[in-house]
Chains A and B, each alone.
Chain A
Amino acid sequence: MLIPQLINGLTQGSLYALIAIGFVIIFGTMNLVTFAHGEVYMAGAFVGAFAMTLWHLPWFVALVMGMAAAWVLGFLIEKVAFRPLRTAGHMPPLLITIGLSIILKDLAVVLFGAENRPVPSIYEQTVRLAGVQVSVLQLVILGLAGSLFLVLRLLIQGTKIGRAMRATAQDHEAAYAMGVNVNRVFSIAFALASCLGGAAGVMIGIYYNAVYPTMGGTAGLKGFAACIFGGLTSIPGAILGGIIIGVVENLTVQFLASGYRDVVAFLVMVIVLVLRPQGLLGRKLRTV
């Protein structure tokens, strides 16, 4: 029973990781926390669900559409909520994102109704891998998350815009002086973070066969927790944090009771943070 639960945890954790990376990108480049990230994830999930149920599109098209919608939403949020307040300190943008999160959630209730919306299953078959029965869907999700991590890494480490993002994160005034359009970097960072959240949303919808307006609440919290757990500014840390939370949750469900799921996950996190306040892979002195 251990191996299947590990795989469940890994699958779930890789999706938390996608959400967590969004927090890292936004915090890393702009030094800001957004509380509307869970709702961007929810919006992506809904677009994906509609693409599959209303327009009968294949799941990967739904995925691309959900990611694109989240990209656009993130871009807009940065433009209307963050940019005008760039110099206003930390509190105003924080409050705005809390408001935005409530608005988006309520808007979803008004537009789509508060109840669960079913999402069709895909890849229901299982395969035997090294003597263990594994669901194909889980493999697809793991493969997808892995590919997104890889693409993101290539983007951030190997492209000009990625380099500009890192430079801006480290010293935005110096980057600006070198000729970087810092506003554009912030837009792209926010949109990119949102896009990954949207991908997680679509895949969660498919994984649990349902989307609903409040789904962003706990997911956003778990993603944020994973981001802090991993060290706030480290993408590998966020991935590790997400996976650990996912695995701990699933092992708790298996070996304790499903009611303890969130309690144990957050307990582990608190213990790690007490022992290692900078998070798993964070630096003591923040340089990114």
Chain B
Amino acid sequence: MLELRGVCTRYGPVQVLWEVSLTVGEGELVCLLGGNASGKSTTMKTILGLVHPVRGEVLFRGRPIHRDTPAQVVRAGIAPVLESRRIFPQLTVYENLLMGAYTRTDGPGIRQDIEAVYERFPLLRERRGQLGGTLSGGEQQMLAIARALLARPRLLVMDEPSMGLSPLFVEKTFEVIQDLNRQGIAILLVEQNANMALAIAHRGYVLQTGRIVLADTAQNLVNHPMMRKAYLEL
């Protein structure tokens, strides 16, 4: 469904991604692991159209999207859960949700989907009139996921959703991710928390200084000597 082929991305003179290739199949949950500054977020931004690759291509359902604007990417069916959540602090919970549906024009459909995320996250219904910035970190993460769902995505791209959360909320976040995937949404999960990511993912890639250095099933990655040494806390 999503395919990156030899993607090179740079910020001005600094090249960050080198020939990154990866795929996410229909309904798959794929994780992208890697240490700090390895280029995980840049990969995600390249997929979302926030930055454009200088070489290589990004295909979504067979169509090249690497020159598209974020609006076009969202419309194509890819929704972002950005690094550190990026809730609009001065918009209410309800308005934050509406921002997730920004590219949609089907009013009744949006209302129905808001109802659906309220069902999934009852807390958001309770807090719908509250400003996004007043929610706790964990609550903001739920809102960030709910907001992404309002784009009616086929693929969710999530950048370190567990970052900065209490163990309880980390647990809850991964449950939600697995749950969404089981309902048929493909997920590309960027994580530093390799243990937990590999526990729910089907496959994984490891990024090191902008290059994919490992690509395998989650099972094999967990047992890979390099992984055990570098990323997994065992």
Residues of A in contact with B (beta carbons under 8 Å apart): 160, 163-164, 166-167, 170-171, 173-181, 287-288
- Stretch of B17-25, B27-35, B70-78, B165-173 that contacts chain A: B70-78
Contact check, B91 vs A178: say whether CB atoms are below 8 A apart.
no
Contact check, B71 vs A170: say whether CB atoms are below 8 A apart.
no
Q: Whose C-beta in chain A lies nearest to the C-beta of B150?
A: A178
CA distance A160 to B95 in the complex (A): 10
Contact check, B71 vs A180: say whether CB atoms are below 8 A apart.
yes
CA distance A173 to B82 in the complex (A): 10
Task: Given the known inter-chain contacts A167-B99, A173-B50, please indicate yes or no for A181 contacting B88, CB distance below 8 A.
Answer: no
Contact check, A178 vs B133: say whether CB atoms are below 8 A apart.
no
A117 to chain B, nearest CB (A): 43
The count of residues in chain B whose C-beta lies closer than 8 Å to any C-beta of chain A is 23
Q: Whose C-beta in chain B lies nearest to the C-beta of A175?
A: B99
A120 to chain B, nearest CB (A): 44
Cβ-based interface call for B86 (8 A): yes
The SS class assigned to the A binding surface is helix
Task: Type the 1/0 row for B126-162, where 1 means its CB is closer than 8 Å to any CB of A.
Answer: 0000000100000000000001000100000000000
Q: Whose C-beta in chain A lies nearest to the C-beta of B72?
A: A179
Q: Report, nearest first, the 7 A-B pairs whose CB atoms are least far apart.
A: A179-B71, A179-B103, A174-B86, A179-B74, A179-B102, A170-B88, A178-B102
Contact check, A174 vs B70: say whether CB atoms are below 8 A apart.
no
Residues of B in contact with A (beta carbons under 8 Å apart): 48, 50, 69-71, 74-75, 80, 82, 86, 88-91, 95, 98-100, 102-103, 133, 147, 151
Q: Whose C-beta in chain B lies nearest to the C-beta of A180?
A: B102
Residues of B within 8 A of A175 (CB): 88, 99
Residues of A within 8 A of B48 (CB): 177
Contact of A179 among B70, B89, B90 (CB under 8 A): B70
A231 to chain B, nearest CB (A): 14
CA distance A284 to B69 in the complex (A): 35
21 contacts between A and B (CB under 8 A): A163-B91, A163-B99, A164-B99, A166-B88, A167-B91, A167-B99, A171-B88, A174-B82, A175-B99, A176-B50, A177-B82, A177-B86, A178-B70, A178-B99, A178-B102, A178-B103, A178-B151, A179-B75, A179-B103, A180-B102, A288-B90
Contact of A181 among B71, B91, B151 (CB under 8 A): B71
Of B48, B102, B103, B151, chain A has the most CB atoms within 10 Å of the CB of: B102
